[in-house]
Amino acid sequence: MTKSLRALGVALAAASMLILAGCAGDGGDNTAAPAEPAAELSSEAQAALEIVEAASVSVDEFEAPGDAIDGSAIAGKTVYYIPATLQVPVLKVIGENLTDALDNLDATVQVCDGKANPADIASCVAQAIAADAGAVVTAGITPEFAPAAFADLTAAGIPWVQGLTAPAGAADPTQVAYVTENQVLLQSWSTNWVIADSDAKANVLVIKLTDTPATTMWADAGILATYEKGCADCVVEVIEINSGQLDRLQSLISSTLVAKPDITYIQAQFDQFLPAVAQGIQSAARDDITVASVDGFLSTLQDMEAGGNIKSAVAYNKSALGWYLADAAARLAAGQPAVQNLDFPFRRAFNETNLGDLTLTPEAEASGEWFGDADYQAGFLELWGTN
């Protein structure tokens, strides 16, 4: 529970005591002693709390990311979707929504798993070039992971949408687009929640994903740098792991919690770590651990609602991201330049302050309603001229 909510609880409890005292007496002096004021948050924790509160609001209107386009330009073409690795569940979900979106434009999606391996990623890119793909959409892959392959893609003149990664340098906006939920920002929101909840005194175990240079950078810049800058008294322990080592994670967490009993927070970079986190906490017999994570899958929010260890979930609308990726591919295929500095809007921090507003069902998760009332699908169909 954030300290501001604790303070609110103290105030409400004091008010209830005064009301009950006034009703219970028979004319005597029923004045209750005033409750002691709740302790104020430190300046670091208050600054972090304000960031989290601003991140907790919904988005209720769709704003087109660019001008209208001729969506028929990509009809009949095959778009290659190359995720860093399909062992990361969210990348599979994004690919499914990309497929659904492009189906409205009569385009086909071919999925090629990058397997977090430069050779496999290069092979996928080579397949896309050989097939004269209408576009290539990568997810979580930076150019330096397979530089020769991506140089060949650029030379082939095939539109390239870099999903989940931000520009690292200049790129031709008529051939390269960037669509990202901004993981550095999302990870910083999760970090700020821990700082606020602990009054800037957290002793936290961070689970860091090292699958690609991008995932490593997201943790370094979004989590570790935020603690370094915004929480001088926080103590941070890090477990580095890749998706192929998840069978080891439970024991690593358990042994760390036993060896370092002062740790009371675990911050998972992604929800894929949460089963191992739960098992590690149980194995260590630690019922005092508070968990924060990023992804916001249904199971995560259901655990939060049920009063489990998870108290903070930062999320983004994976369905909407798939549609934004489709828009970028269609835009390039139509000969229009990519939208520069796209600010993906459907991101939100979930915690006890807004969890009660959500319907926690698979249908609600799929619809994206957790993020607000904006009808982005209808907005894109109008933008593409398909309705």
Q: Residue 58: which of 341, 385, 333, 374 has the closest Cα?
A: 374
- Single-letter code of the amino acid located at 280: G
Which tokens go with 64?
Answer: 């087109």
On whether the CB atoms of residues 348 and 182 are closer than 8 A, the answer is no
- Cα separation, 375 vs 61, in Å, equals 7
Tell me what the mean pLDDT of segment 298-304 comes to. Answer: 97
Q: Would you say residue 154 has pLDDT above 50?
A: yes
The set of residues, in sequence order, having a beta carbon less than 8 Å from that of 296 and lying 6+ positions away, is 271, 313, 314, 315, 316, 348, 350, 370
Per DSSP bridges, beta strands 347-350 and 310-316 are: antiparallel
Better-predicted residue by pLDDT, 37 or 181: 181
Rounded CA gap, 115 and 105, in Å? Answer: 28
The answer to whether residue 17 scores a pLDDT higher than 80 is no
- Single-letter amino acid, residue 139: A
Cα→Cα distances 39→10, 36, 42, 68, 288, Å: 11, 9, 9, 53, 22
Mean pLDDT of the residues in the chain = 90
Phi/psi region, residue 358 (left: phi>0; alpha: psi -120 to 50; beta: rest), is beta
Instruction: Provide mean pLDDT across the span 120-130.
Output: 98
Q: Is the pLDDT at 44 greater than 80, yes or no? A: yes
35 Rama sector, left if φ>0, alpha if ψ -120 to 50, beta otherwise:
beta
Residues of the chain with pLDDT > 70, as a percent, come to: 90
Q: Residue range 65-91: average pLDDT?
A: 95
H or E element, residue 293: strand 290-295
Tokens 């798939």: give the residue: 322
With cut-offs at 50, 70 and 90, classify the pLDDT of residue 50: very high
For the chain, percent of residues with pLDDT exceeding 90: 85
DSSP lists the bridge partners of residue 135 as: 79
d(CA 235, CA 204): 6
CA angle 220/113/250 to nearest 5° reads 50
CB 270 within 8 Å of CB 214: no
- Residue 308 burial class via C-beta count within 10 angstroms: exposed 0-12, middle 13-18, buried 19 and up: middle
**Residue ranges of the domains in the chain?**
3-40, 45-57+184-315, 71-181+317-347+363-383
pLDDT interval class at 1 (50, 70, 90): very low
Residue 74 has pLDDT above 60, yes or no: yes
The reported pTM is 0.86
Nearest to 73, CA basis, from 289, 292, 274, 326 = 326
* Domains 45-57+184-315 and 71-181+317-347+363-383 in one fold: yes
The CATH class that applies to domain 45-57+184-315 reads alpha beta
**Token pair listed for 57:** 């609001």
Query: What is residue 354's predicted lDDT score, i.e. its pLDDT?
Result: 97
The predicted pLDDT at position 6 comes to 39
What is the model's pLDDT at position 168?
A: 76
Q: Phi and psi (nearest 5°) for 347?
A: -130, 145
What CATH number does the domain located at 71-181+317-347+363-383 have? 3.40.50.2300
pLDDT band for 38, please (50, 70, 90 cuts).
Answer: low
What integer is the mean pLDDT of 96-117? 97
Do residues 243 and 269 make contact, with C-beta atoms less than 8 angstroms apart?
A: no
Average pLDDT over residues 122-142: 97
